[in-house]
Amino acid sequence: MTSYYPVFLDLKGRSCVVIGGGLIAEGKIKSLIEHDCSITVISPEATSAIRKWANQDKITWHERVYQEGDLKGAFVAIAATNITEVNRVIAQEAESKKVLLNVVDYPPLCTFIAPSVVKRGQVTFAISTGGASPALARKLRETLEESDLLDYAELAPLLSKARSEVKTRGLQVPPDRWQQYITTDLIDMVRKGREVEALELLLSGLATAEEAP
């Protein structure tokens, strides 16, 4: 099986093309809209949600079948047509134009595959089985969504502020020291609205850690 390199893409302002207008395409488009990219949809038919997004100018919808050349200028493309031969032609164009391509449910034609995603605030978990079992990826996602581990995601804004302050002060804090001070007590303080106190406590601990022999 292909070994995939995990990565998060910055799609802001980039051109993304989705070929297909069914429910699967709708889900892909919904996710892309959240990332402030330029979305072009090509399909003779479209769900009511896709039509609504087109009417709201959130996407551009070309009401026709795919034509060679539709990927010109695209950064990312998603093929969700359910027509194998069309997907193969799309893959050939993507390869020739060096466009990143995901062909839904057909990894052999993909240059990237979409993981199962869990989001909590600023934290995103991406789960992949490398195409071996989408069902397992979904099971892991659903299990993680119910896990208390996600509570740590609530600390992201606080830790971002602490990281900036550590850089400003020129402190050298080893990675395991950060782990030592990322605790459930901090989570509790943030939940109770005591962010300032939590930040001071965290920075005090990190500064002390740097001074320790």
Give the pLDDT confidence of 136-150 residue by residue, as tens digits: 999 999 999 999 999
The answer to whether residue 211 scores a pLDDT higher than 70 is: no
Alpha helix ranges (H) inside 56-194:
84-97, 134-145, 156-169, 175-181, 184-191
How much is the pLDDT for 209?
Answer: 59
Contact 205, 162 (CB under 8 A): no
* pLDDT at 132 (0 to 100): 86
Task: Quote the CA–CA distance of 21 and 17 in Å, as a whole number.
Answer: 12
Residues 72 and 96: their CA atoms lie apart, in Å, by 10
Residue 212 has pLDDT above 80, yes or no: no
What pLDDT is attached to residue 29?
A: 98
Burial of 172 (0-12, 13-18, 19+ CB in 10 A): exposed
Structure tokens at 18: 């989705």
Of 86, 96, 123, which Cα lies nearest the Cα of 8? 123
Return the pLDDT at 18.
98
Q: Residue 79 forms beta bridges with which residues? A: 19, 103
* Tens digits of residue pLDDT in 6-26: 999 999 999 999 999 999 999
| pLDDT for the residue 115 | 92
Mean pLDDT on 70-85: 96
In this structure, what are the phi and psi dihedrals at residue 24, rounded to the nearest 5 degrees?
-65, -45
Q: Which of 16-20, 42-46, 205-209 is predicted least confidently? A: 205-209
Sign for the CA dihedral angle at 142, 146, 151, 157 comes to positive
Mean pLDDT of 67-79: 98
